[in-house]
Amino acid sequence: MADEPRLRDKVALVFGGSRGIGAAIVKQLAADGTSVALTYAKSPDKAAETARAAEALGVSVLMVEADSADPAAVKDAVEQTVARFGRLDILVVNAGIMIRGTVDTFALEDFDRMLATNVRGVFVAIQASAPHLADGGRIITIGSNTAVRTAFPGSSVYSMTKGAIAALVRGVAIDLAPRGITVNNVQPGPTATDMTAAHIEMIKPFVPLGRMGEPEEVAGLVAYLASARAGFITGSSLTIDGGYVA
């Protein structure tokens, strides 16, 4: 049937799924018929709100508290997901932090913290999930168009972490290709979330389409990459930014 949810009976784990783009991804996957586990670090209320919205779409949802800077917590989230649902088909790694600062003032502790969450956390999530992923499964990371163009002062370290993810995805795609697992990176540009609300008017002039992206637009691309229709796309970074880096 044309209206059959295209990811029915799949199981997804979304790291950083409580708010913003992550919450939109959880709800889109749920709308497509996927049971979802989502992690959160500091927003239990937002996570619960997202979980309720997903459950209202008729799927099972699991909330897991997990700081992506903590490798043990990341591994435990994977184990809890598999224990609850018995399988894992889709991994989405959205968890990340942004600390701004120019290179001459950037604190080493903040540098280490960003690497721990934005790079090591992604690696650990993929490494821990890979043995559990079904053959033909999907891994999707959420990077940033700053991997292509930084544009503003104070973004060097953040851009570096997102460039690292784009490179990681290319290699992991080759590692897991024999199992038919595709690995791709979505690179959003300026997106309207509570984190960017104060900067919208400053950013919009840099976007050729003249507006911010919507979390649901990013989620739609993620859901496509998770589907059978995207089975020949792997090792790619797909930028969704209204032409910002064009």
% of residues, the chain, pLDDT over 70: 97
Going by pLDDT thresholds of 50, 70 and 90, the confidence category of residue 1 is: very low
Q: Encoding tokens for residue 92?
A: 């989405």
| Average pLDDT over every residue of 83-107 | 96
Q: Which residues of 19-48 are buried (b: 16+ CB within 10 A; e: fewer)?
A: bbbbbbbbbbbbbbbbbbbbbbbebeebbe
What number of CA atoms fall less than 13 Å from residue 155's CA on the CB side?
13
Say if 4 falls within a structural domain. Answer: no
pLDDT value for 100: 92
Say if 2 falls within a structural domain. Answer: no
Q: Residue 210's domain is classified under what CATH number?
A: 3.40.50.720
pLDDT value for 202: 81
Going by pLDDT thresholds of 50, 70 and 90, the confidence category of residue 197 is: low
Say if 6 falls within a structural domain. Answer: no
E-only strand ranges, 19-132: 35-40, 61-65, 88-93
Say if 246 falls within a structural domain. Answer: no
- The range of the structural domain enclosing residue 153 comes to 11-240
Summarised one tens digit per residue, pLDDT across range 178-195 is: 999 999 999 999 998 877
pTM above 0.85, yes or no: yes
Question: Over the chain, what is the mean pLDDT?
Answer: 95
Closest CA to 207 of 190, 192, 224, 194: 190
What is the torsional sign of CA 129, 64, 224, 7?
A: positive
pLDDT value for 70: 98
% of residues, the chain, pLDDT over 90: 89
What number of CA atoms fall less than 13 Å from residue 64's CA on the CB side?
28
| Average pLDDT over every residue of 197-220 | 89
Count of domains for the chain: 1
Catalytic residue among 40, 158, 224, 244: 158
| Average pLDDT over every residue of 111-133 | 98
Q: Is 158 a catalytic residue?
A: yes
Say if 1 falls within a structural domain. Answer: no
Summarised one tens digit per residue, pLDDT across range 15-61 is: 999 999 999 999 999 999 999 999 999 889 999 999 999 999 999 99
pLDDT at 239 over 70: yes
